[in-house]
A and B are shown apart, each in its own frame.
Chain A
């Protein structure tokens, strides 16, 4: 039965498939996405499973596809998104796909290789061209120097020229290495080599890494063969490329011309290679997405096939799956479609298997409820068929958020944001962004929508809109009666800074409270916080205790469903007694005090907190704190004693009863009479029935039903029950106090809002005249940015977190055990979109 109140019924089924039909059937089940496969070969290594070869082939294809994707993206070609309704191809199609992909890969790699060699050639030729140009400059300069110094005495160059022939080496080196190269050359040749270098302006591209390189040309003059060898070795060491440079100017010119023509030809060929590569990649880009989907689906099917067992006759595959009961028909139909697709004649057989294993928890959600189910599951996935907190969370979570956030102005801005996300859902979903923060906000759009609507409501109750109150109905307080009937006068107005409106004076307070929310006059009162703190604290306590009592009632529903009468009598009833008699009484006192005291007797109103503390101490002799009502002492004593009785009731009785049950069932097993055996069998049947209807659903009943001959550890039981009692009783007190964070955060929000208005907006509004105009214009922008950053984002996240904590800890520890595991069906949609692991 599908509903969000508890998780769905899930059966363990065995499916017998013919080996030929297995692939197609599993592909159909993957398209359906409703079935979770169990691993029947958990002990087997990944490399020893049956279909490991096929998986390997799929992975090889994936590798080729990734390589193609890389190449396509570096070239900036856009990969077309095709409709991803490609079915998984049958195994014989896989061979064709493999062939196509391998051919593409080979072609692309060959093109890349050729391109690299040609680029290398191009690089060398360009460098040579520059080198020739530079050396031409060098030689001309040298010749000019020689001519000039010909007339002077003792020019070194002349001496060198007369002494012997100068040899030279010309080449190109990376700019970073130049300085070290020069220094090493100087040292190694003991200053006997003369080097000139100049920068190459053109930036060249390294063919392998495709990075731009900056190089310098150099020319080294030396004398002698040994020096030449030394210099050559140094050049090799620094990876400088040496080019043969002819000595005479004519030869140089010829070489330059030859190099230029070769460069032109090479550029032409490179261009054509580039276009060819581009064409190949564009062809591939058209089909890339559909190939990827097909390969991913194939790999997923083979992984799933690996999870199945082959039976003895080698004819048939056995798969164990968890199927939700409601979808059995759909699954059967999918299996039939698969069998017909594969052309096999034998229909697959699906049988339900009884098991003691606890099934996974399956909550069917749609796009609205998925957000709330996610935040519940984030703390712990519920046990099988346990009460699901999610449907209540849909309302209580935004409500508790709104209690802490309450401001209608901020709520409206948040509503605008949420509406934009919800109304443009389809476009925003199609964009598939990678930004995790955006994805988190977007997947919670319905949460934000509800949170903002509730915030606008609580904003009206707190009468707070950007920290100003809105006077819709007219305030119930009047100032003029204070002059007419009361004690105010002109002199009082001149002399005091604050004045107090006294509601005891007739006419000041009209007697009818403001119809909805807090009276707007409190907004301009200096003692606003005294009033609102008292109100908000008491309200938080009342809301908290109500929430917790609701949680305890949900635990009753759990006990009823799992037919755990013991828990109802021994756990639920004492829990209710404890919380009602102590904290329910606190709520009563709060509401009683609100109703029964007015301005005329408020100075005699007792403090509830002192009364509550004295209740526990049985201390009724404090005269400064009068009683709230007559017979208060008797009623309170009765309630405390009643609550104290509930504690040992919760603590002691259950372990003994469970032990008695265990002993009785053991005696039944050992009884030799047939009557005894029949009773025993009836008892066994009864308890196995009980066990199959509540696998893993309740707490504390471990030794209770599962142990015909099993272990029953009394010590464990007792300690467990002890922990539960202490946790519950002390938890009631601490959790009630924990709900005071509702007050704390709403106070913080209101104060931040007021500070922002007073320090930012006030400056704009209170500068009079026409200069104020421009100031308002600019200041509003600042105010808006700060409001969004501080009050919406920071306070919003803070309130979200605290509301979530209140749900996870204070509410759920009353009834939720959350130790189940989630139902993850084998679904192609989930795998292709990257949500599930293949």
Chain B
């Protein structure tokens, strides 16, 4: 069985930092997309047909919400990355105490 410890301590630390930042930032971005913030309009992938709407701006809002769901799920993926990096750190710390 392949050893569970596959990255060094520095890589694990970088992973933890990146995941914490990713979780916080992606969750906040998801929230801001969810409340249809006007500042983020250029990041929403809209096309011409969005403007031919019977009940504007519901199509636009739907697009906003799609992006926000993407952000939330990416944040969840980063939770996994963070958890895995954290486990690697713990394994490293335990190894330091073991007598070689």
* Residues of A participating in the B interface, judged by any CB pair closer than 8 Å: 409, 413, 466, 468-471, 520, 523-524, 758, 761-762, 765-770, 772-773, 776-777, 780-781, 784
Q: Is B39 an interface residue (CB 8 A)?
A: yes
Q: Are A468 and B40 closer than 8 Å at their CB atoms?
A: yes
Name the distance in Å between B46's Cβ and chain A's nearest Cβ: 9
With A780-B25, A784-B18 known as contacts, the answer to whether A765 contacts B43 (CB < 8 A) is yes
Q: Are A777 and B67 closer than 8 Å at their CB atoms?
A: no
Interface CB pairs A-B, < 8 A, 10: A524-B38, A758-B42, A762-B42, A765-B29, A765-B71, A767-B45, A768-B63, A772-B67, A773-B74, A784-B21
Q: When chains A and B are docked, how far (Å) is the Cα of A781 from the Cα of B63?
A: 24
- Convert B1-42 into 0s and 1s, putting 1 for each residue whose CB lies closer than 8 angstroms to a CB of A: 000000000000000001001100110010000000111111
What are the residues of chain A within 8 A of B39 when measuring CB–CB?
A: 468-471, 520, 523-524
Q: Are A780 and B45 closer than 8 Å at their CB atoms?
A: no
Q: When chains A and B are docked, how far (Å) is the Cα of A298 from the Cα of B85?
A: 49
What are the residues of chain B within 8 A of A468 when measuring CB–CB?
A: 39-40
Q: When chains A and B are docked, how far (Å) is the Cα of A466 from the Cα of B39?
A: 12
Q: Are A773 and B73 closer than 8 Å at their CB atoms?
A: yes
From DSSP, what is the main secondary structure of chain A's interface residues?
helix
User: Chain B residue with minimal CB distance to A417?
Assistant: B17
Name the distance in Å between B37's Cβ and chain A's nearest Cβ: 7
Q: Are B70 and A780 closer than 8 Å at their CB atoms?
A: no
Q: Are A773 and B70 closer than 8 Å at their CB atoms?
A: yes
Q: Is B77 an interface residue (CB 8 A)?
A: yes
Which one, B41, B45, B73, contacts A524 given CB within 8 A?
B41
Q: When chains A and B are docked, how far (Å) is the Cα of A772 from the Cα of B67?
A: 8
What are the residues of chain A within 8 A of B38 when measuring CB–CB?
A: 471, 524
What are the residues of chain A within 8 A of B29 when measuring CB–CB?
A: 765
Name the distance in Å between B68's Cβ and chain A's nearest Cβ: 10
User: Chain A residue with minimal CB distance to B14?
Assistant: A785
Q: When chains A and B are docked, how far (Å) is the Cα of A783 from the Cα of B66?
A: 21
Which residues of chain B in 47-86 are interfacial with respect to chain A, using CB atoms and an 8 Å cutoff?
Answer: 63, 66-67, 70-71, 73-74, 77-78
Q: Is B44 an interface residue (CB 8 A)?
A: yes
Q: Are A776 and B70 closer than 8 Å at their CB atoms?
A: yes
Q: When chains A and B are docked, how far (Å) is the Cα of A470 from the Cα of B39?
A: 8
Q: Are B21 and A413 closer than 8 Å at their CB atoms?
A: yes
Interface size class, chain B: 20 to 34
Which one, B42, B43, B77, contacts A777 given CB within 8 A?
B77
Which one, A762, A769, A770, contacts B43 given CB within 8 A?
A762
Q: When chains A and B are docked, how far (Å) is the Cα of A301 from the Cα of B60?
A: 80
Name the distance in Å between B69's Cβ and chain A's nearest Cβ: 9
Q: When chains A and B are docked, how far (Å) is the Cα of A466 from the Cα of B21?
A: 13
With A468-B39, A520-B39 known as contacts, the answer to whether A772 contacts B70 (CB < 8 A) is yes
What are the residues of chain B within 8 A of A767 when measuring CB–CB?
A: 45
Extra contacts, 9 of them, besides A777-B78, A780-B26 (Cβ < 8 A), are A470-B39, A471-B39, A523-B39, A765-B29, A765-B70, A768-B63, A768-B66, A773-B77, A777-B74
Q: When chains A and B are docked, how far (Å) is the Cα of A413 from the Cα of B20?
A: 11
What are the residues of chain A within 8 A of B41 when measuring CB–CB?
A: 524
With A471-B37, A471-B39, A523-B39 known as contacts, the answer to whether A768 contacts B45 (CB < 8 A) is yes
Name the distance in Å between B83's Cβ and chain A's nearest Cβ: 15
Which one, B18, B37, B43, B77, contacts A761 given CB within 8 A?
B43
With A520-B39, A773-B74 known as contacts, the answer to whether A766 contacts B25 (CB < 8 A) is no
Name the distance in Å between A410's Cβ and chain B's nearest Cβ: 12
User: Chain B residue with minimal CB distance to A768?
Assistant: B45
What are the residues of chain A within 8 A of B25 when measuring CB–CB?
A: 409, 466, 780
Q: When chains A and B are docked, how far (Å) is the Cα of A320 from the Cα of B44?
A: 76
User: Chain B residue with minimal CB distance to A776?
Assistant: B74
Q: When chains A and B are docked, how far (Å) is the Cα of A115 from the Cα of B9?
A: 39
What are the residues of chain B within 8 A of A768 when measuring CB–CB?
A: 45, 63, 66-67
What are the residues of chain A within 8 A of B74 when measuring CB–CB?
A: 773, 776-777, 780
Name the distance in Å between A185's Cβ and chain B's nearest Cβ: 50
- Top-8 shortest CB links A-B: A765-B43, A766-B45, A776-B74, A768-B45, A777-B74, A773-B70, A772-B70, A777-B77
User: Chain B residue with minimal CB distance to A769?
Assistant: B66
User: Chain B residue with minimal CB distance to A767?
Assistant: B45
Q: When chains A and B are docked, how far (Å) is the Cα of A657 from the Cα of B12?
A: 72
User: Chain B residue with minimal CB distance to A413?
Assistant: B21
What are the residues of chain A within 8 A of B67 when measuring CB–CB?
A: 765, 768, 772
Looking at B22, B44, B70, the one whose CB has the most chain A CB atoms below 10 A away is: B70
Name the distance in Å between B75's Cβ and chain A's nearest Cβ: 9
Q: When chains A and B are docked, how far (Å) is the Cα of A404 from the Cα of B68?
A: 32
Name the distance in Å between A424's Cβ and chain B's nearest Cβ: 13
Name the distance in Å between B28's Cβ and chain A's nearest Cβ: 9
Q: When chains A and B are docked, how far (Å) is the Cα of A376 from the Cα of B99?
A: 49
Name the distance in Å between A559's Cβ and chain B's nearest Cβ: 52
Q: When chains A and B are docked, how far (Å) is the Cα of A724 from the Cα of B85?
A: 61
Q: When chains A and B are docked, how far (Å) is the Cα of A106 from the Cα of B66?
A: 79
What are the residues of chain A within 8 A of B73 when measuring CB–CB?
A: 773
Q: When chains A and B are docked, how far (Å) is the Cα of A203 from the Cα of B71?
A: 59
Q: When chains A and B are docked, how far (Å) is the Cα of A769 from the Cα of B43?
A: 14
Name the distance in Å between A387's Cβ and chain B's nearest Cβ: 42
What are the residues of chain A within 8 A of B21 when measuring CB–CB?
A: 413, 784
User: Chain B residue with minimal CB distance to A785?
Assistant: B18
Name the distance in Å between A532's Cβ and chain B's nearest Cβ: 15
What are the residues of chain B within 8 A of A471 when measuring CB–CB?
A: 37-39
What are the residues of chain B within 8 A of A409 when measuring CB–CB?
A: 25
Q: When chains A and B are docked, how far (Å) is the Cα of A762 from the Cα of B45?
A: 9
What are the residues of chain B within 8 A of A469 when measuring CB–CB?
A: 39
Name the distance in Å between B31's Cβ and chain A's nearest Cβ: 12
What are the residues of chain B within 8 A of A781 when measuring CB–CB?
A: 18, 22
Q: When chains A and B are docked, how far (Å) is the Cα of A830 from the Cα of B91?
A: 38
Q: Are B44 and A766 closer than 8 Å at their CB atoms?
A: yes
What are the residues of chain B within 8 A of A520 when measuring CB–CB?
A: 39
Q: When chains A and B are docked, how far (Å) is the Cα of A765 from the Cα of B64?
A: 10
